[in-house]
C-alpha cells in the first residue's frame, strides 16, 4: 500500500510541477498545499514586446489571474487520499480515494453519480509492468541469473540490464583513460580559496572515443535492441542505427587543487579547472568545479555559442538549495529549487527570466504533518464502474471510452460552474475565449 500511495502522490501532484521532495517529509498522514505566484509586471512587458494586442493581453491576464487565485491541496492518509482544487478559497474540484485490502475506490464531485473501483490484482499487475510485461503463453522459458523460475525476461528488463551493464563499462572506460599525475605541494590561491596541493590530470580521449565506438557497436547489435526495433516497426517506426565513426578527438586537460594532510588525504574543498580544446588548441569548453562535502559549485563556458552555465548547490540538516543560471548572449534563464524541512516543510521552485534577481514564476509546496479526508466515498445510489470492466468493454453502461467521455463532459461543466461561483470573473474569460 505504501508503494501505491507514493505513486498516487506523484500522479496527483504532477500537475503542479512537483517532481521530488524530501523523503522524510513524505510520510502519511500529511497535507500538501501548492500555490503559484507570478511577476505580473514582467509578464505584461513580455506580452507587449511580443506584439500582443489589447484583447490578447486581456485574455492572458485573465488566465494569469486564475493561476494566482488557485491552489491545490492533497491530503494523504494510510488508507486513502483527497485532492482539492481551490479557487479564491473555494473548493472547485475534489478527487478522493479509499484504499482497502480489496483495492481502491475513487469518487469525486466532478462525477458524483459514479464510483470508480480498481482491484488490487489490477494494481499489482500495473505495478509489475514497471519491470516489464507478463510472460506471454508462447514465449520460451529462459533461466537467467536471479531467475530461478525459468521465466523469460521481459524486453524492458533486458533493456534496463543492458543499459546498466554498458553504463558501468563506460565508467570503467573513462576511469582507465584518466592519468592522475604526482601531487605537487605548495600554496595555491584559486577563486578565493587557498589549497596546499596541485595535481595535474591528463585524459586519453582517443582511447575513450575508440571505446565508445566499440560499446555502441555491440549495443546496437545486441538481441534486446534488435527486438525493440522489431516492436517499433510493427507500429511503423523505423529508427536506423549505425556504428558511429569518430575522427579527430579534442584535447582534454585538467588541474586539481586540493587541501591535503601529511598523509596525503583530502581534508577540505576540492577544485577542478578543466578545458577541452579542438584543432590548433582552439578552446571549445572551459569549466571549473568546486566540491566541499555535499556542497558544490560548477561553471562552464562554450565560447563559440557565447554560452555560460553556472550551477550551485548547498545542503544542510534543515534542507537544501540548488540553482542553475544560463546565459546565452542576450538571453538569460535561471532555475532554483529550495527545500526547508520542519513541522511544515517547503519545496520552492523558481524560474528566473530575464531578471536573475527576481523570479518570474514561483511555485511553493508546503508539506505539513497530519491531515484528514473530508470527502466521503460511498457506493449507495451510484453507478459503480470497475476499471477492469471499463478496459474490457464489459460494463453495461457502454464502452469505457464513451463512459469516460461522458464523465469528462460532466466534470468540465461541474468545474466551470464551481469556478464561476468562486470567481464570477471567469465568465469574462470564457467570453474572451469564445470570441464574444
Across the chain, which has 436 residues, the per-10-residue mean pLDDT values are 39 36 68 95 91 87 88 94 92 91 89 86 71 41 44 75 91 91 92 92 92 93 90 85 90 91 82 88 89 90 92 88 93 93 91 94 94 85 77 57 70 75 67 57
What are 276's strand-pairing partners? 252, 285
Give per-residue burial for 327-351: e unless 16+ CB within 10 Å, then b: beeeeeebebbbbbbeeebbbbbbb
- pLDDT, residue 150, reads 47
Phi-psi region at 196: left, alpha or beta (left = phi > 0; alpha = psi -120 to 50): alpha
Q: What is the DSSP pairing of strand 383-386 with strand 114-119?
A: parallel
Residue with cell 582511447: 207
Give per-residue burial for 242-277: e unless 16+ CB within 10 Å, then b: eeeeeeebbbbebbbbbbbeeeeeeeebbbbbbbbe
pTM metric for this prediction: 0.69
- pLDDT, residue 267, reads 83
- pLDDT, residue 28, reads 86
- pLDDT, residue 427, reads 63
- pLDDT, residue 12, reads 39
- pLDDT, residue 149, reads 46
Name the grid cell of 196: 596546499
- pLDDT, residue 184, reads 92
- pLDDT, residue 214, reads 94
Crossing angle (nearest 10°) for helices 155-176 and 205-220: 170
Phi-psi region at 421: left, alpha or beta (left = phi > 0; alpha = psi -120 to 50): alpha
Amino acid at each position: 500500500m505504501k508503494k501505491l500511495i507514493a505513486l498516487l502522490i506523484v500522479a496527483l501532484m504532477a500537475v503542479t510541477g512537483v517532481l521530488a521532495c524530501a523523503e522524510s517529509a513524505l510520510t502519511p498522514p500529511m497535507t500538501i498545499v501548492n500555490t503559484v505566484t507570478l511577476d505580473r509586471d514582467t509578464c505584461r512587458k513580455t506580452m507587449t514586446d511580443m506584439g500582443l494586442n489589447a484583447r490578447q493581453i486581456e485574455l492572458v491576464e485573465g488566465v494569469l489571474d486564475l493561476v494566482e487565485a488557485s491552489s491545490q491541496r492533497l491530503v494523504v492518509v494510510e488508507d486513502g487520499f483527497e485532492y482539492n482544487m481551490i479557487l479564491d478559497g473555494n473548493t472547485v474540484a475534489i478527487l478522493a480515494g479509499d484504499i482497502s485490502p480489496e483495492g481502491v475506490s475513487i469518487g469525486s464531485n466532478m462525477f458524483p453519480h459514479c464510483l470508480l473501483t480498481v482491484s488490487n490484482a489490477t494494481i499489482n499487475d500495473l505495478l509489475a509492468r514497471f519491470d516489464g510485461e507478463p510472460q506471454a503463453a508462447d514465449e520460451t522459458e529462459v533461466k537467467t541469473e536471479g531467475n530461478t523460475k525459468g521465466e523469460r525476461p521481459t524486453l524492458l528488463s533486458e533493456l534496463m540490464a543492458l543499459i546498466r551493464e554498458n553504463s558501468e563499462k563506460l565508467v570503467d572506460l573513462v576511469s582507465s583513460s584518466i592519468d592522475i599525475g604526482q601531487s605537487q605541494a605548495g600554496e595555491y590561491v584559486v577563486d578565493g580559496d587557498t589549497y596546499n596541493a596541485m595535481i595535474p590530470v591528463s585524459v586519453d580521449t582517443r582511447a575513450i572515443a575508440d571505446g565508445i565506438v566499440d560499446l555502441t557497436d555491440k549495443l546496437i547489435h545486441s538481441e534486446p535492441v534488435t527486438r525493440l526495433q522489431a516492436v517499433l516497426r510493427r507500429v511503423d517506426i523505423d529508427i536506423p542505427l549505425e556504428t558511429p565513426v569518430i575522427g579527430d578527438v579534442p584535447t582534454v586537460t585538467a588541474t586539481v587543487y586540493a587541501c591535503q594532510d601529511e598523509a596525503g588525504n583530502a581534508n577540505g574543498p576540492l577544485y577542478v579547472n578543466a578545458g577541452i580544446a579542438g584543432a590548433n588548441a582552439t578552446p571549445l569548453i572551459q569549466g571549473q568545479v568546486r566540491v566541499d562535502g555535499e556542497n558544490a559549485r560548477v561553471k562552464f563556458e562554450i565560447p563559440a555559442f557565447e554560452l555560460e552555465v553556472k550551477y550551485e548547490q548547498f545542503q544542510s540538516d534543515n534542507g537544501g538549495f540548488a540553482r542553475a543560471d544560463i546565459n546565452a548572449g542576450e538571453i538569460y534563464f535561471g532555475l532554483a529549487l529550495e527545500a526547508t524541512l520542519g513541522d511544515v516543510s517547503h519545496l520552492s521552485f523558481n524560474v528566473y527570466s530575464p531578471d536573475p534577481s527576481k523570479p518570474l514564476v514561483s511555485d511553493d509546496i508546503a508539506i505539513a504533518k497530519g491531515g484528514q479526508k473530508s470527502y466521503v466515498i460511498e457506493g449507495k445510489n451510484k453507478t459503480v464502474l470497475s476499471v477492469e470492466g471499463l478496459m474490457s468493454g464489459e460494463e453495461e453502461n457502454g464502452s469505457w471510452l464513451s463512459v469516460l467521455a461522458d464523465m469528462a463532459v460532466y466534470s468540465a461543466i461541474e468545474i466551470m460552474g464551481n469556478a464561476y461561483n468562486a470567481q464570477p470573473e471567469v465568465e469574462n474569460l470564457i467570453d474572451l475565449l469564445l470570441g464574444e
